[in-house]
């Protein structure tokens, strides 16, 4: 695919579209927003598919949840649409929960909630997006709990992903990260919004995925990490 700067306009027969980073491939125009901005359609209307992903939750002792994910198909767009891209949730610390991921939104479509931050030792993660606690219905899934009498001596549960819940931690096994969702809206099959992996029983950090909207792995004895920023992708044709 050939990338073009977002300040450049794609146009045909008097219709002009600006905003985001533009890639043209296979008859489609792809506009990607990795930070908040505006999509502007002048001189007409486009029909577009839009993928909106919120920021992932930050890790603490518990894993962060993925940001919520919602696809919108066949959207009729004209004029200016505000695009909000949620930031990553901040890393937590001992006794401090991981931060919530920021919400994302395209125009007036449904607000997509940021991922929940990982909980402290013995606490429940925050509950938004694909949180360490409960996931937002239709956008994400719940994080895994722990099986044991004292969560301080067992492996942590995994953060919820957009495609599945986080796994339960136990005495011998860390909770798996909730799976993300694969989308080809950018022209290539890409995974988004994965949960973080549960922290090890002793020292270390659970799986931390670098895909957009993903939550950070839980950490014990080492510094946790922030989540991943969200993203908004708009795909359309100019005939």
- Cα distance between residue 35 and residue 24, in whole Å: 20
Round to whole Å and give the CA distance between 77 and 178: 33
In 3-state terms, what secondary structure has residue 239? Answer: coil
- CA dist 103 and 123 (Å) reads 23
pLDDT at 64 over 80: yes
Identify the residue whose tokens are 């939750």: 57
Lowest average pLDDT, out of 28-32, 40-44, 125-129, goes to 125-129
Among the listed residues 217, 168, 214, the one whose alpha carbon sits nearest the alpha carbon of residue 194: 214
With bands split at pLDDT 50, 70 and 90, how would you rate the model's confidence at 222?
confident
In contact, 15 and 46? CB cutoff 8 Å = yes
pLDDT greater than 70 at residue 149: no
Q: How confident is the model at residue 239 (pLDDT cuts 50, 70, 90)?
A: low
Q: Give every CB contact of residue 77 below 8 A, 6+ residues apart in sequence.
A: 39, 41, 45, 46, 47, 48, 107, 234, 236
Higher pLDDT, 8 or 92: 92
The structure tokens listed for 70 are: 């919602």
**122 band by pLDDT with thresholds 50, 70 and 90:** low
Q: How far apart are CA 232 and CA 31, in angstroms?
A: 8
- What band does 203 get if pLDDT is binned at 50, 70 and 90? confident
Q: Is the pLDDT of residue 174 over 80?
A: yes
Over range 84-88, report the average pLDDT.
96
Beta bridge mates, 147:
none
The yes-or-no verdict on residue 129 having pLDDT over 50 is: no
**What are the Cα distances from residue 92, in Å, to 55, 188, 198?**
15, 33, 14
Which residue blocks in 102-179 are alpha helix, DSSP H? none
Mean pLDDT of 140-168: 77
Identify the pLDDT of residue 132: 44
Percent share of the chain, pLDDT over 90: 48
Residue 109 has pLDDT above 70, yes or no: yes
Asked if the model's pLDDT at residue 226 lies above 60, the reply is yes
Of 157 and 189, which is predicted with more confidence? 189
CA distances in angstroms from 180 to 78, 109, 189, 205, 211, listed in the order given:
31, 22, 12, 19, 9
**Number of other CB atoms surrounding residue 181 within 10 Å:** 21
Residue 205 has pLDDT above 60, yes or no: yes
């Amino acid at each position: 695919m050939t990338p073009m700067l977002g300040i450049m306009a794609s146009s045909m027969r008097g219709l002009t579209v600006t905003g985001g980073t533009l890639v043209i491939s296979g008859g489609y125009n792809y506009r990607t927003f990795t930070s908040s901005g505006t999509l502007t359609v002048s001189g007409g209307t486009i029909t577009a598919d839009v993928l909106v992903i919120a920021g992932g939750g930050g890790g603490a002792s518990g894993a962060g949840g993925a940001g919520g994910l919602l696809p919108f198909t066949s959207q009729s767009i004209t004029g200016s649409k505000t695009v909000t891209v949620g930031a990553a949730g901040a890393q937590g610390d001992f006794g401090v929960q991981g931060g919530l991921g920021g919400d994302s939104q395209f125009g007036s479509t449904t607000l997509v909630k940021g991922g929940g931050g990982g909980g402290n030792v013995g606490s429940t993660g925050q509950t938004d997006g694909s949180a360490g606690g409960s996931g937002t219905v239709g956008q994400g899934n719940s994080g895994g709990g722990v099986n044991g009498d004292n969560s301080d001596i067992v492996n942590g549960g995994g953060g919820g992903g957009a495609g599945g819940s986080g796994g339960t931690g136990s005495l011998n096994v860390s909770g798996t990260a909730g799976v993300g969702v694969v989308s080809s809206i950018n022209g290539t099959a890409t995974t988004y919004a994965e949960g973080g992996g549960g922290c090890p029983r002793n020292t270390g950090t659970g799986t931390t995925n670098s895909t957009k909207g993903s939550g950070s792995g839980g950490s014990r004895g080492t510094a946790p990490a922030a989540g991943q920023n969200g993203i908004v992708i708009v795909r359309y044709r100019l005939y």
